[in-house]
Amino acid sequence: MKRTEPFEMYQPTTLQEASRLLKEHGPGGRFLAGGTDLVIAMKEKGLLPKYIVDLKRVPGLSGIREKGDGSIALGALTTMYEIETSPLIRKKYPFLAQSAAEVGSIQIRNRATVGGNMANATPSADVAPALIALDAAAKIASASAERTIPLKEFFQGPGQTVMNTDEILTEITIPKTDPRLVGEYIKFSPREMMDLAYVGVAVVYNLGAQDKKCEGVRIVLGAVAPTPIRAERAEAALEGQVLTEALAEKVGQIAAEEAKPISDVRSSADYRRAMVGAMTKRALLNAAVGPATSWYDRRDRRY
Amino acid sequence: MNKAIHFTLNGKPASREVLTHRLLLDLLRDEIGLTGTKEGCGTGDCGACTVYLNGKPVNSCLVLSGELDGADIVTIEGLKIGPELHPIQKTFLQDGGAQCGYCTPGMLMMAKALLDENTNPTEEEIRFALAGNLCRCTGYAKIVQAVQDAAAMLRK
């Protein structure tokens, strides 16, 4: 395996300093979080950053906090393993914890961060669909300003986000949700672990206790478009309706029409599209019966 | 770019001048001489290079030395404390949990990380924990057995 080439490395201790370094040193610099994408890109794809700005010495960028208003803040440097094992996330959003557990191995998840995963903007990023389905927002800071944008608008294309080079993703915020909220994330890939998603589907809706109607429906697709996308026509087809197997099938078909998959070494576009339909249906029905208890259970689960 | 770092290695304080772009794996093997940690894929898929960084198992092939100031690093050489083998080492020997042996250091590190948190794991929990450790001899059944036996030993 090829080795990384030399580069300058900075370890700022404030966000302002980190942002200023990128501004002053100009193009060719990269921020470093967990390194599980960046170091692989340097070794495997010949990426040669002129300099690296390690964000891990900046305090306050990691950890999961529930705020007074019921929202939850995920610091950008929170690791996938922290999300996967957080009692708060497991209780409130088990499908989000599970989507984090779908990333690589435990060794990878102890390093990979939610901020790095979002900032690298891989179309198949596993936690992105669940976060978008929860209407999460991205907090972005530079030396002089801070802004917040919906995560849905954060991604611009493979590897591309709305951030300028001197901007840093500092936090993902999940707004307060309805107590009736249920959800599911299905990663569809030929191997059960250590694989990238052919198709990722996150669904979230508020399930009426009495009338069983679905409200606030979110259906978010990963790996089947240049960015994670919401299947808004499919969402509308379920909004206010009582979920049945026939309706789930129909909603799945609409979601499949909304996907814009490509053919590549992993799978053909047609197959991906068909799987969007099947997995959306399955995710909608699984969500209604509650979270799976283990990955064995999840693998075989058909609502 | 050179950088002076202070860290803890297998429980002992250490100081070194390192190249910031040097991988932790290469620092351990080629500069410090701890060759128990292996390189398999080099891209974080196989787990042969697993070490503990600040108490957590990570792929040392993806860690840059420039990040290591103040770090606590434990390698396979630091798994046993004192003359006695760790139970997980004993049961890998006893159960034949190694064929060619190349994945073994990583397997042991990951198995111990699991047992530190859970001394009564189910088979599926063991397979989940070891998902990022590939054995190309495919001797997984005996590896899982060894972890179960080590867990039983630790529960006594």
Q: How far is CA A13 from the centre of its chain?
A: 27
| B58 and B9 housed in the same domain | yes
Cβ–Cβ of B58/A107 closer than 8 Å?
Answer: yes
Please, how many CA atoms are within 13 Å of residue B47, restricted to the half-sphere of its CB?
A: 27
Pick the CATH number of A64-174 from 2.30.110.10, 3.40.640.10, 1.10.1740.10, 3.30.465.10: 3.30.465.10
Cβ–Cβ of A107/B67 closer than 8 Å?
Answer: no
Q: How confident is the model at residue B15 (pLDDT cuts 50, 70, 90)?
A: very high
Here the CATH number for the domain that contains residue B62 is 3.10.20.30
Residue B132's closest chain A neighbor by CA? A105
Cβ–Cβ of A9/B63 closer than 8 Å?
Answer: no
A67-76, A183-192, A277-286, B112-121 — which is least confidently predicted?
A183-192
Q: Which domain holds residue B104?
A: 87-155
Rounded to an integer, what distance in angstroms lies between the CA atom of residue A139 and that of residue A75?
10
A78-96 pLDDT, tens digit per residue, is 999 999 999 999 999 999 9
Q: How confident is the model at residue A1 (pLDDT cuts 50, 70, 90)?
A: confident
| B58 and B114 housed in the same domain | no
Average pLDDT in chain B: 97
Cβ–Cβ of B42/A296 closer than 8 Å?
Answer: no
Percent of all residues in chain B with a pLDDT value above 70, rounded to a whole number: 100
| B74 and B97 housed in the same domain | no
Cβ–Cβ of A39/B3 closer than 8 Å?
Answer: no
| B19 and B54 housed in the same domain | yes
Q: Does residue A172 contact residue A163 with C-beta atoms inside 8 Å?
A: no
| B31 and B73 housed in the same domain | yes
| B27 and B46 housed in the same domain | yes
Q: In chain A, which residues fall in CATH 3.30.465.10?
A: 64-174
Q: In chain A, which residues fall in CATH 3.30.43.10?
A: 8-55
Report pLDDT for B80: 87
Question: Is the predicted pLDDT of residue A296 greater than 80, yes or no?
Answer: no
Mean local confidence (pLDDT), A131-141 = 98
Question: Is the predicted pLDDT of residue A299 greater than 70, yes or no?
Answer: no
Find chain B residues with C-beta within 8 A of A108's C-beta. Answer: 44, 59, 132
Mean local confidence (pLDDT), A105-121 = 98
| B118 and B146 housed in the same domain | yes
Question: Is the predicted pLDDT of residue A17 greater than 80, yes or no?
Answer: yes
Q: Does residue A142 contact residue A168 with C-beta atoms inside 8 Å?
A: yes
pTM value > 0.90: yes
Q: How confident is the model at residue A294 (pLDDT cuts 50, 70, 90)?
A: confident
| B58 and B94 housed in the same domain | no
Average pLDDT in chain A: 95
Q: Of B42, B53, B129, which has the smallest distance from its Cβ to A106's Cβ?
A: B129
Report pLDDT for A191: 86
Q: Of B3, B23, B57, which has the smallest distance from its Cβ to A107's Cβ?
A: B57
| End position of a domain, from candidates B48, B78, B108 | B78
Find chain A residues with C-beta within 8 A of B57's C-beta. Answer: 106-107, 110
CA distance B109 to chain A (A): 11
Best of B60, B64, B117 to disrupt the A interface (most A CBs within 10 Å) is B64
Say which residue the tokens 């440097």 belong to: A77
Here the CATH number for the domain that contains residue B137 is 1.10.150.120
Find chain A residues with C-beta within 8 A of B3's C-beta. Answer: 9
| B58 and B102 housed in the same domain | no
Find chain B residues with C-beta within 8 A of A102's C-beta. Answer: none
| B74 and B7 housed in the same domain | yes
CA angle, corner A106, sides to A105 and A110, nearest 5?
120
Q: How confident is the model at residue A301 (pLDDT cuts 50, 70, 90)?
A: confident
DSSP B46-108: S-TTEEEETTEEEEGGG-BGGG-TT-EEE-GGGSS-SSSPPHHHHHHHHHT--SS-TTHHHHH
The better pLDDT of the pair A193, A187 is held by A187
| B61 and B110 housed in the same domain | no
Angstrom distances, CA of residue A65 to CA of A13, A86, A88, A123: 21, 10, 9, 27
A108-122, A222-236, B2-16, B72-86 — which is least confidently predicted?
B72-86
Q: Of B23, B58, B113, which has the smallest distance from its Cβ to A111's Cβ?
A: B58
Mean local confidence (pLDDT), B41-65 = 97
The sign one gets for the Cα dihedral B121, A117, B50, B5 is negative
Rounded to an integer, what distance in angstroms lies between the CA atom of residue A59 and that of residue A142?
16
- With H, G, I as helix, E, B as strand and everything else as coil, classify residue A226: coil
| B73 and B91 housed in the same domain | no
In the CATH hierarchy, which top-level class contains the domain A8-55? alpha beta
Angstrom distances, CA of residue A183 to CA of A84, A102, A129, A201, A282: 15, 16, 11, 10, 11
Does this complex have an ipTM over 0.95? Answer: yes
Question: Is the predicted pLDDT of residue A302 greater than 90, yes or no?
Answer: no
How many Cβ atoms are within 10 Å of A302's Cβ, its own excluded? 6
Domain count for chain B: 2
The CATH number assigned to the domain with range A181-289 reads: 3.30.390.50
Q: Of A8, A44, A104, which has the smallest distance from its Cβ to B132's Cβ?
A: A104
Cβ–Cβ of A4/B42 closer than 8 Å?
Answer: no
Mean local confidence (pLDDT), A237-257 = 98
